[in-house]
Amino acid sequence: MPDTVPQSVLDALRDVVGRKGWIDDEAGMEPHLVERRSLWRGTCAAVVRPASTEETARVIEICAAARVPVTPQGGNTGGVGGGVPEGGIVLSAARMNHIRAVDPLNHTMTVEGGCVLATIQEAANEVGCLFPLSLAAEGSCQIGGNLSTNAGGIQVLRYGNARDLVLGLEVVLPDGRVWDGLRSLRKNNTGYDLKHLFIGAEGTLGIITAAVLKLYPAIHAREAALVALSDPESVLDLFVRVRDACGDALTAFEMISRMPFDFALKHSVRMRDPFEAPHPFYALIELTSPRPGGALRETLQAVLARAIEDEFAKDAVIATSEAQAKELWTIREDINEAQIPEGGSIKHDVSVPISRVPEFLRRATDILERAVPGGRVIAFGHVGDGNIHFNLSQPEGADTDAFMAESNRVAHGVHDLVAEMEGSFSAEHGIGLHKRDLLKHYKSDVEMDLMWTVKRSLDAKSIMNLGKLL
Ligand SMILES: Cc1cc2nc3c(=O)[nH]c(=O)nc-3n(C[C@H](O)[C@H](O)[C@H](O)COP(=O)(O)OP(=O)(O)OC[C@H]3O[C@@H](n4cnc5c(N)ncnc54)[C@H](O)[C@@H]3O)c2cc1C
């Protein structure tokens, strides 16, 4: 593999994409070399921005012939270094951003890989439908990135991960051939379901240039509530009660422990505490329905009244307007940013079976408190999916570099516990550069061997997103 890209190859690539599709100046390339948290810095010879599947195929064909590494990039919001280049070229999907077709009767939409998620949501909305994938980065992440990371977000409980929202894909393979799998069928049992190879592959098996997405009926009723709880067991109890009473109407069930709640209160200008007293845990619940009317509110009120009567819920507020519902959600949304001014943070994005969430919270808290005395445990996340963002903020006044130097030791304790509980060390954000060693450590030899077999057979020249995931 050449260290640098020969000028003749660069010339050929620039001929394919033209001036509009070519960036090779330092300032223009800069945003493509680092991620938001700036944990990794990469290098590349150029950022290549094809405008179509055909141009993408030609670019990959040239790179494959010259064995030039290609790093696919969407909105660069991934957070695990998956889109950070290690030489070669960055292939940005940003110009492939058209909605090719919308079929409200079939409840499908065909979009190009570089479409920004929020644009897709709006386009669905315009035809009276819902595209339910929703995450805080939706204004900049792209559907190709969402599918390549099998993104989760806040409505997985009701609609599933990105993987569950796709019927077909178009992919440019690592040798430049195009696989046209853009089918919009809900039933199609004709051999291996190839699209699932590329979903969650983090750009290591090809470039997703288009996808057929599933649409759902638009939402016409929404209820949100924040409930104060005393311990992890009460969080699970409440989840089970709401799930049983509300079924499919339950779209989100988020948990927030006291510490991140306090961080958000302290640092967010948007948020105020709706309760008079502090509580150890909170649950943020959202119910939605395509049918307008007050039935959702009545059901929610009944479940919460019963939970308070039975004394495991300590207090509750139900939003009485869309504005109030938004206000409750700011509590959850502001936690990420609120951790930054509190100094170093060792992050874990884990999942365990829902039934074992309380056990995980107790045992993992104990592990962190013993690992770094004075460290502040930040537990929040999509408890309805068994997915917890379980972080440790540095002790107040501690030296950040010394604290962060303990990252591996601390994370091993948490990840070993997750493995023992048959959970996952990476529930949402994928592997990228960040968790590559963990993959090797926690996956069985058989699973690693199968992954390598797929990788080698599709990417024989080993050019696609080198050094990521595997
Ligand atoms: C504020 C914030 C909140 C977030 N919340 C969530 C959340 O709730 N749930 C969640 O799952 N994630 C979340 N994320 C992480 C991130 O937004 C998702 O991983 C997202 O799906 C990445 O999309 P992207 O377009 O930015 O991809 P990038 O970061 O550009 O790339 C991610 C990976 O996909 C590959 N890739 C990108 N585009 C393509 C393509 N067209 N073809 C092939 N491979 C490609 C890249 O090589 C890389 O490996 C959040 C991030 C931020 C900053």
pTM of this prediction? 0.94
Could you report the per-residue pLDDT of 299-347, keeping only the tens digit for each? Answer: 999 999 999 999 989 999 999 998 999 999 998 888 988 999 999 999 9
| pLDDT tens column, 183-193 | 999 999 999 99
Q: Give the 3-state secondary structure of the chain.
A: CCCCCCHHHHHHHHHHHCHHHEECCHHHHHHHHECCCCCCECECCEEECCCCHHHHHHHHHHHHHHCCCEEEECCCCCCCCCCCCECCEEEECCCCCCEEEEECCCCEEEEECCCEHHHHHHHHHHCCEECCCCCCCCCCCEHHHHHHCCCCCCCHHHHCCHHHHEEEEEEECCCCCEEEECCCCCCCCCCCCCHHHHCCCCCCCCEEEEEEEECEECCCEEEEEEEEECCHHHHHHHHHHHHHHHHHHEEEEEEEEHHHHHHHHHHCCCCCCCCCCCCCEEEEEEEEECCCCCHHHHHHHHHHHHHHHCCCEEEEEECCCHHHHHHHHHHHHCHHHHCHHHCCEECCEEECCHHHHHHHHHHHHHHHHHHCCCCEEEEEECHHHCEEEEEEECCCCCCHHHHHCCHHHHHHHHHHHHHHCCCECECCCCCCCCCHHHHHHHCCHHHHHHHHHHHHHHCCCCCECCCCCC
Q: Give pLDDT tens digits for 130-143.
A: 999 999 899 999 99
Percent of the chain predicted with pLDDT > 90: 92
Q: Is the CB of 203 under 6 A from ligand 1?
A: yes
Q: Which of 47, 135, 209, 329 to mutate to test the pocket of ligand 1 (most atoms within 8 A of CB)?
A: 135
Q: Is the CB of 153 under 6 A from ligand 1?
A: yes
pLDDT at 3: 56
Q: What is the pLDDT of residue 269?
A: 78
In the predicted model, is pLDDT for residue 401 greater than 80? yes
Please compute the mean of the pLDDT values over residues 80-85 and round it to a whole number.
Answer: 95
For the ranges 32-46, 151-165, 207-221, 273-287, the lowest mean pLDDT is seen at 32-46
Nearest ligand 1 atom to alpha carbon 153: 8
Question: In angstroms, what is the span from residue 449 Cα to ligand 1's centroid?
Answer: 26
Mean pLDDT of all residues in the chain?
95
Is the CB of 434 within 6 Å of ligand 1? Answer: no
Which of 54-63, 120-129, 428-437 has the least mean pLDDT? 428-437
Ligand 1 contact, 376 CB (< 6 A):
no
Atom of ligand 1 nearest to the CA of 79: 15
Q: Tell me the pLDDT tens digit for each residue of 35-69.
A: 877 789 999 999 999 999 999 999 999 999 999 99
**For range 250-254, the mean pLDDT:** 95
CB of 429 closer than 6 angstroms to any ligand 1 atom:
yes
What is the average pLDDT across 439-458? 96
Q: How far is the CA of 149 from the centre of ligand 1 (A)?
A: 6
Rounded to the nearest whole angstrom, what is the distance from the C-alpha of residue 140 to the centroid of ligand 1? 9
Question: Using 50, 70 and 90 to split pLDDT, how confident is the model at 206?
Answer: very high
pLDDT of res. 299:
94
Question: Average pLDDT in the 170-190 region?
Answer: 97
